[in-house]
Every structure is written in C-alpha cells, then in structure tokens.
Amino acid sequence: MHFIVCIKQVPDTSEIKIDPETNSLIREGVTAMVNPFDMYAIEEALRLREAMGGLVTVMTMGPLQAETALREAMAMGADQGILLSDPAFAGSDTWATSYTLSMALRRIGDYSLILCGKQAADGDTAQVGPGIAAHMDLPQITFVRQIERISPTGIVAARMLDDGSEILESSLPCVLTVVKEINTPRLPTLKNILEAKKKEVLHWTARDLDCDFKRLGRTGSLTRVLKIFSPPMRCQGQTWTGETKEMIQALMEKVSEAIFSAKSK
C-alpha cells in the first residue's frame, strides 16, 4: 500500500511578532519546524507501513528550504519525499494549496491513503485536508484519534467530534486528518538520519503537474489577506497573594456576578 503524508513547514509560532513600523510579520530568525500535527500523520503512516507493508511518501509545498521538513520525515523512516516548489505556488490560500497538492497526488496516482495533520500551527485553518479530499473527490475522515483496522480496500477509524468519538468505515483511497491522540511520534535514529541523506527528494514545479496555471498561487487563491494587526492586549489584571481566605473573598467580590450569569445560561 502507498501511504502519502502531506506536511507543512511552519515557523515556530511562539516567535512570531508583528513589526509595529511596517505592520508586517517578522520572519527573520524564526525557527522553522515540521507542523506538530503533521508529526502524528507521519508516525501513523510509518506504523501502517510496518503493519501492512508498502511505501511512505512525504510531500510538501513550499520554498526550497522546506526540503528540510521532508528530510526530517525521512529521518523518521519515510521512504521518499516530494517537494512542490515554484514561484507560481507563492501566495496560495487553502483553496490553491489543496488544488496544487491534489494535482501532485494525481501525478503520483497509486495512493491508498492520504494523511494530513488536523491543521497547521501557523494558519490553524484545518482546511487543506478536506480541500484535498474535495478536489480529488475522495471520502474524508477528519480529526482521527485512532485507526481500528485497515485493509487494502477499506479502513475503520475513530474521529474526535465535540461530544464524543465517532467510529467510521470508509472505502480506500481516502483522506485522513489526524489529532495528537493517535500516537507518539518516534525520534529519528542515527541510522535513519544517515540513510535519509541517501534517499531521494523529487522536486516538482508547476510544469511537472498537469494543472491549470490560473488556479495556482496568488492568482488561484479565492481569499486575500486585507491586513494583519496585533491582537488587543488584555488589560492588566489583578493578582492577590497572602491568606487563602482573604484572596478568595477578594475574588468572590469581583467575579460572583459574572459566575452567576455564566452559570444561569
């Protein structure tokens, strides 16, 4: 079986700030990492390959530096990497991103299961996974917390909804997005790190995909970012120290009304 994991290289969001002068993102010096949710997708694909046999391909769309993210996944054990990189892809929103990824998947052709992290830590949209499924007209199971069983033609997986767990059966191929609960990602071993250096990373540009150029990048995107700004600062709060009883009394005076109205709803 061929397992394909779509991953994204993201900045460490805790380091992201807005330059108050230019009102643009300060990206210099910010650490790049594999999106945390994607680590669970990579790990799950590796486990499925260990159980079922087959191949794990990791794929990402991004600038040339994003190859580092693929190498990291290959050091965990992924067999090959595909980097979709082209100036034509720049400025893609989730529609254009999922379009580009789906065109690359069509080129790969023989996939059984496509795995994505639930969402990326920078954009937090959770839209690319279902977007790929829609572009490819494949079934989707979002927010997967556990794969109960899998065969070459079907899968049973539990997904996390707001009020519980839904166990679904789907035909394959299918698109999954996974949450943290599904596994604990392995650390790369030294042996795998050395082997990963020998493994192949394919570089595909827009010309390698049988795609409509008008649907790529900024041109193909349906949404535009009009402006960015810093979130409003929370007002300086009040902090008490000292005797427990006194602190609680002070707190109760401040919050009783709010608690009462929030509870009564």
Give, as ranges, the residues between 140 and 159 that touch another protein (CB under 8 A). Answer: 140-143, 145, 156, 158
**Residues of this chain, 79-138, that bind another protein according to CB under 8 A:** 93-95, 98, 121-131, 133-135
In the complex with another protein, which residue's Cβ is closer, 200 or 243? 243
Question: CA dist 105 to 49, 122, 173, 174, Å?
Answer: 19, 24, 12, 12
Please check whether residue 70 is in contact with residue 6, taking contact to mean a CB–CB distance below 8 angstroms.
no
Q: Is 32 in the site for another protein (CB under 8 A)?
A: no
- Residue closest to 120 by CA, chosen among 85, 156, 169, 69: 69
**Which residue, 18 or 201, has its beta carbon nearer to another protein?**
18
- Name which of residues 187 to 216 contact another protein (CB under 8 A): 212, 214-215
Q: Which of 165, 194, 197, 203 binds another protein (CB under 8 A)?
A: 165
Given candidates 171, 189, 194, 213, which one binds another protein under the rule CB under 8 A? 171
Burial level of 130, CB count in 10 A (0-12/13-18/19+)?
A: middle
The gap between the terminal CA atoms of the chain, to the nearest Å, is: 51
Stretch that binds another protein, among 1-9, 186-194, 202-210, 243-251 (CB under 8 A): 243-251
Output the furthest CA–CA distance in the chain (Å, rounded): 70
User: Shortest distance, CB of residue 246 to another protein, whole angstroms?
Assistant: 10
Q: Does position 223 bind another protein by CB under 8 A?
A: yes
Cβ atoms of 145 and 160 closer than 8 Å: yes
The two structure tokens encoding residue 191: 């042996």
Candidate residues 36, 53, 100, 205; the one interacting with another protein per rule CB under 8 A: 36
Of 85 and 119, which CB lies nearer to another protein in the complex structure?
119
